[in-house]
Amino acid sequence: MAGPAVVVPYPHELHTSFVRGGLHGGTRTRTGEIPHIDDVLRVSHAPSVGWAGSRATVAAWVELSEAWVADGGEPIRLTHTIRTGAAATGMRAGWERWVEAGRPGPEDPRWRRGMRMAYVAPPDGTHHQWGAAVDFDVKALSADGFDRGSDEVLMKLWDMADAHGFSPVIGHPIADQSESWHLDHMGPLRLVYVELRSMYRNAYNEVARMGCALAGTLHDDTDNRMARYVQARLAIGGFVPGRCDGIIGPKTRASLKEAGAPPAVVDKARQNVPAVRAWLKASGIGSAEMESL
C-alpha cells in the first residue's frame, strides 16, 4: 500500500485543479493547496488527501489536460478520482435510497439528507475504485469558440479524450445528462469490455471488478480475490473466462487450457489458485503493467 501523500503547492496550474469533495465541488483541497502530481500516482484504499489514481490514468489525464489547454481550453476542473470500496458502499446506498423514494428533489418532503441524485455504481463495480476513472465539472468546461458547459464543448473533449485512452460511459455528449462528467481509462481492459458487452448486460461492472482485482482494491469479496485476479489476467491475455466471479469453474479452466497452462495447473486450478497465479505471472499472460498501480 502507498504511504501517506504529502500536500505541497503545485508549481503551476496548467492541467487541472484537484478538489476534495463530491461532484462539482470546489477547485481546491481544504488547505487551499494542490497535491503534487507525484503524490497521486498511486492507488490507495485511504489516500490521505483524498486523491489517487492509477499511474496510467494520471499520466494520460495530464497529457489530455495539457493538450486541451494548448488547443484553447481553460484548465479542466477535476472533481473526483479514486473512490474506496467503503465510500462506494455508502454512496451507492444513498443513491438507492433516492431511487426507492421516487427520485425526489431537495425541495420534496420525501428528500432525506444523504440521498444522491447522481448514479453511483455498486462497490467493486466502478473504475473509480481502482483509480481508472475521473469526474470533471462539465458545467465549467470551456474552450475557444464554444459555449461554456455546452454539448458541443463536451463533444470536443470526448474526441480529444479518446486519443488519450479515455472513454465516456453514456452514448451521446449531452452535458445535462447524468454521468456526462465521467471518463474511464481502462487501459488493456478496454478491449475486454468491448468483447464482454456482447455477452453480458452488466459487462461494465464486470470489467471494473477485474480492474479492482488487478489493483488489489476489491472491497466486498475477500475470499475469492486471488481467483478474480486470475480471471482478470486471463481476460487481458485474450482468454476471457466469462464473468469475473471468483469461481474457478469449467470456463476458467478452459481458458487456462487455451492459454497453454500445464495439465497439472488446469486440473488443480480450483484447489490451488496460488499455483495458477504463479503460472500466469511466470508465463506473462495478461498485463504485468496493471500490477504496478
Write out pLDDT tens, residues 239-280.
Answer: 888 888 888 999 999 999 999 999 999 999 988 999 998 898
What are the pLDDT digits (tens) for 55-103? 778 778 888 988 999 999 988 877 778 788 888 899 899 999 999 999 9
Residue 168, SS3 per DSSP: strand
Q: pLDDT at position 32, please?
A: 38
pLDDT, average across residues 42-51: 38
Q: Which grid cell sits at 287?
A: 498485463
Per-residue pLDDT at 43 exceeds 60:
no
Question: Is residue 171 helix, strand or coil?
Answer: coil
Give the lowest-confidence range in 34-43, 140-149, 196-205: 34-43
Alpha carbons 112 and 94: distance in angstroms, whole number: 9
> Region 202-224: what's the mean pLDDT?
84
pLDDT of residue 293: 38
CA distance 62 to 18: 12
Residue 277: Cβ within 10 Å count = 15
3-state secondary structure of 71: coil
pLDDT at res. 96: 94
| DSSP letter, residue 5 | P
Return mean pLDDT, the chain. Answer: 78
So where are the chain's domains? 16-83+126-184, 202-292
Burial of 81 (0-12, 13-18, 19+ CB in 10 A): buried
Return the C-alpha cell found at 234.
Answer: 486471463
pLDDT for the residue 288: 53
Higher pLDDT among residues 28 and 53, named by residue: 53
The residues, any chain, with a CB within 8 Å of residue 37's CB and separated by 6 or more, are: 10, 58, 62
Considering only residues 286 and 124, tell me which one the structure prediction assigns the higher pLDDT: 124
Pairing verdict, β 16-17 and 76-80: parallel
For the beta carbon of residue 260, count every other beta carbon within 10 angstroms: 12
Give the whole-angstrom CA distance, residue 99 versus residue 80.
22
Structure-block grid coordinates of residue 170: 453514456
Under the banding of pLDDT at 50, 70 and 90, the label for residue 157 is very high
Cα four-point dihedral sign 167, 171, 175, 178: negative
Asked if pLDDT for residue 128 goes beyond 70, the answer is yes
* pLDDT at res. 45: 34
Q: What is the pTM of this model?
A: 0.78
Interatomic CA distance for residues 211 and 127, integer angstroms? 7
Q: Which option is the CATH number for 16-83+126-184: 1.10.3470, 2.60.300, 2.60.120, 3.30.1380?
A: 3.30.1380
In whole angstroms, give the CA distance from residue 117 to residue 242.
32
Continuous H helices in 197-272: 203-215, 225-236, 250-258, 263-267
The whole-angstrom separation of Cα 133 and Cα 198 is 22
Count of alpha carbons within 13 angstroms of residue 17, beta-carbon side: 18
Instruction: Answer whether 20's CB lies under 8 Å from 48's CB.
Output: no
